[in-house]
Amino acid sequence: MTSAYLTIKELTEAVGSRVTPRMVRHYHTLGLLPSPQRSQANYRLYTLQDVQRLRRIVALKQQGFQLSHIHHLLENEPESLNQTLMTQLQQQYQAVMQQILRLRQTAAALEGLLGRDRACQQTQAEALSQLRQLEVETQDGLGTLDQIWESLDAQTTGHPEAFQESLQRLLPDLSHHSEIMVDLLHQVVLASGDVSLVHFVRASAGAIAAARSALKAGCAIVTDIAPVMAMADQTRLAHLGCSVSALMNDPHITSADEAEQLFWRDRFWQTQLAQIPPGCILAIGYAPSVLLTACELIEQGQIQPALVIGMPIGFSHAPAAKRRLMHSQVAYVTIEGTLGGGLLAAVTLNVLATSLIEKPDCHCHLSHLSALSS
């Protein structure tokens, strides 16, 4: 197109995300998009600035913001956003959390049925039959539901839980992942008790190969704090010739908040981070600012870890640190968003070490294009 202007159809095509001309006209009505210029034939004419604004609207809408809130966010500078809008956003957040709670309760009920192993299948069939006839609008109905669960739960005392059998029913199709990655996802779910976590795990295309090469060479393992080091499989790592140490080796630091404050209170630890050995595996399970600083040092060429396991906990810095990690040039395994923790970081490290020892000649990770990479 030679013109500096776009038609409404060209605007929607440039933005994508299933935006339609009807939606654009609606955004004009709401004041989200400014009124466009008109051609001599009275067609709407749009600019690249309109494309950028519409992309912002779509992005915010996909993040769950209401259109009225999007208008405030686009029209005001961050420092001028008033308390009323912040209150509205908090209310929206609480409403979303209530929706998540209801969905989580539904998911838990489904997991309680689908996760039953063969030994419980007869009771499961009876429960499904009762559920089909269940009325839950009254207190009596809720009592019947409790009785169904009591019947199902009574079957759990006669045998151990068959975790792998349950996972086969509950996990999505993972056949497009390598055998090692599937095992990693299984262990992360078992460590967290959250099946949905598989949708948030991200790994760079060369993460497994980088981890196996580093571990085979007896690389150093550096964790952010001592509890992550304590959860690492010291026996298997020692067998591989790998040393394990904590960056902040204060045994009294046991939480994300303490680790975060210590890292920024004493710049000694930031200096220590800049001195980690090249080719090491850096496993961060608590402090998001350790990951942010590590990413900065990697970008500056000051440190060259073979792999970063980036799973800090946090509500603003942690998601930002993980996004920065996924845009870096280093091999990584991470969990998007606020999810993470020292246990999951250690489990990831342990799975990678165990797979190398038990399957030293496995090359499955080289024949699969990882769909986990961003």
Contact 237, 245 (CB under 8 A): no
Looking at the domain assignment, is residue 216 inside a domain?
yes
How far does CA 234 lie from the centroid of its chain? 27
pLDDT-derived band at 103 (thresholds 50, 70, 90) equals confident
Decide if 282 is inside a domain: yes
Say how far apart CA 282 and CA 247 lie, in whole Å: 9
pLDDT of residue 141: 42
| pLDDT number for residue 77 | 57
C-alpha separations of 313 from 29, 67, 105, 300, 332 in Å:
41, 30, 24, 25, 16
Instruction: Tell whether 334 is covered by a domain.
Output: yes
Cβ-Cβ contacts under 8 Å for 191 (sequence gap 6 or more): 343, 344, 347
Do residues 336 and 275 both lie within one domain? yes
DSSP for 83-115, written as a single string: HHHHHHHHHHHHHHHHHHHHHHHHHHHHHHHHT
Mean pLDDT, rounded, for 8-13: 90
Question: Domain tally for the chain?
Answer: 3
The two tokens of residue 180 are: 């090692």
In a domain, residue 344? The reply is yes
67 within some domain: yes
Q: What is the pLDDT of residues 239-256, one digit of tens each?
A: 999 999 999 999 899 999
| Mean pLDDT, residues 27-40 | 87
* 118-157 per-position pLDDT tens digit: 656 555 555 555 555 554 444 444 455 566 556 666 666 6
* pLDDT-above-70 percentage for the chain: 80
Kindly state whether residues 117 and 40 are assigned to the same domain: no
Query: Average model confidence (pLDDT) for the chain?
Result: 84
- 21 vs 30: CA distance, rounded Å: 14
Examine the domain organization and report whether 361 and 267 are in the same domain. yes
Of 192 and 71, more confident: 192
Q: What CATH code is carried by the domain that includes residue 239?
A: 3.40.50.10230
Q: State whether 307 and 187 are in the same domain.
A: yes
| Res. 88: pLDDT tops 80 | no
Residue 88 belongs to a domain: no
Q: For residues 22-35, give the mean pLDDT.
A: 88
Judge if 217 and 280 occupy the same domain.
Answer: yes
In a domain, 372, yes or no: no
pLDDT of residue 161: 75
The yes-or-no verdict on residue 4 having pLDDT over 70 is yes
User: How many other β-carbons are positioned within 10 Å of the β-carbon of residue 235?
Assistant: 8
Residues spanned by the domain of 126: 101-160
Amino acid 247 reads: L
Cβ-count burial of 334 within 10 angstroms (0-12 exposed, 13-18 middle, 19+ buried)? buried
Domain end position, chosen among 80, 109, 127: 80
Inter-CA distances, 169 with 55, 143, 155, 173, 176, Å: 38, 28, 19, 10, 17
What pLDDT, on the 0 to 100 scale, is given for residue 98?
Answer: 80
110 and 134 co-located in one domain: yes
- Whether the full predicted model's pTM is greater than 0.85, yes or no, is no
- Do 341 and 185 touch, CB atoms closer than 8 A? no
Q: Do the domain assignments include residue 295?
A: yes
8 A C-beta contact, residue 216 and residue 356: yes
Are 182 and 218 contained in the same domain?
A: yes
For residues 296 and 207, state if they share a domain: yes
Measured on CA atoms in the order 47, 53, 57, 59, is the torsion positive or negative? Answer: positive
CB atoms within 10 A of CB 115: 20
Question: Are 155 and 106 in the same domain?
Answer: yes
Instruction: Name the residue among 154, 100, 150, 104 with its Cα closest to residue 130.
Output: 150
User: Is the pLDDT confidence value at 115 over 80?
Assistant: no
Q: Give the pLDDT confidence score for residue 139 in this predicted structure.
A: 42
Q: 361 and 237 in one domain?
A: yes
Let me know whether 319 and 201 are in one domain: yes
Pair (120, 259) in one structural domain: no
pLDDT at 304 over 60: yes
- Residue-level pLDDT at 324: 97
- The whole-number pLDDT of residue 363 equals 79
The confidence score (pLDDT) of residue 317 equals 93
Q: Over range 10-24, report the average pLDDT.
A: 88
Q: Compute the distance between CA of residue 304 and CA of residue 329 in angstroms, rounded to an integer.
A: 10
Cα separation, 66 vs 83, whole angstroms? 17
Nearest to 228 by CA among 287, 158, 183, 299: 287
Number of other CB atoms surrounding residue 357 within 10 Å: 13
pLDDT tens profile 161-184: 778 888 888 888 898 899 999 999
